[in-house]
């Protein structure tokens, strides 16, 4: 039987810690960088998925990703002023059609933000993957 101490239990209003997360990344001049998105209200958010299938369904098979723990993703996003983490969002976009040249492309994602308390700060390394 696996018993947890009361100090390890999340508060009733907090979800269980997310655990292993698949984080979408983009290639940059110094390696890979986590992609940041905007919520429907325009707030910047870090995004992660709990399974490869969920990531592929929302962002497509060409999307590269790395595996990170929730505290590591928060540590990457916090210096950029991003404090919201959205886990397993769904794409909320208008149907594809002719795009005006002056309209910026901004993918919008919907889903409840993950509000779990940040854990210990530590670096986690992952290998970018794309299928």
- Length of the chain as a residue count: 131
* pLDDT tens track for 61-78: 999 999 999 999 999 999
Q: What percent of the chain has pLDDT over 70?
A: 56
What is the C-alpha separation between 49 and 47, in angstroms, rounded?
7
- Which residues pair with residue 24 across a beta bridge? 65
Q: Establish how many alpha carbons lie within 13 A of residue 30's alpha carbon, considering only the half-sphere containing its beta carbon.
A: 2
Predicted structure pTM score: 0.59
Q: Is the pLDDT of residue 95 over 60?
A: no
């Amino acid at each position: 039987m696996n018993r947890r101490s009361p100090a390890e239990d999340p508060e009733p209003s907090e979800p269980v810690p997310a655990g292993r997360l698949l984080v979408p990344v983009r290639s940059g001049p110094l390696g890979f960088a986590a992609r940041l998105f905007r919520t429907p209200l325009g707030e910047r958010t870090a995004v992660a998925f709990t399974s490869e299938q969920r990531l592929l369904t929302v962002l497509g098979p060409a999307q590269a990703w790395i595996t990170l723990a929730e505290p590591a993703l928060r540590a990457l996003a916090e210096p950029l002023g991003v404090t919201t983490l959205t886990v397993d969002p769904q794409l909320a976009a208008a149907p594809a059609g002719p795009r005006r040249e002056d309209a910026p492309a901004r993918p919008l994602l919907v889903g409840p933000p993950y509000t779990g308390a940040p854990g210990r700060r530590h670096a986690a390394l992952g290998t970018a993957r794309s299928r």
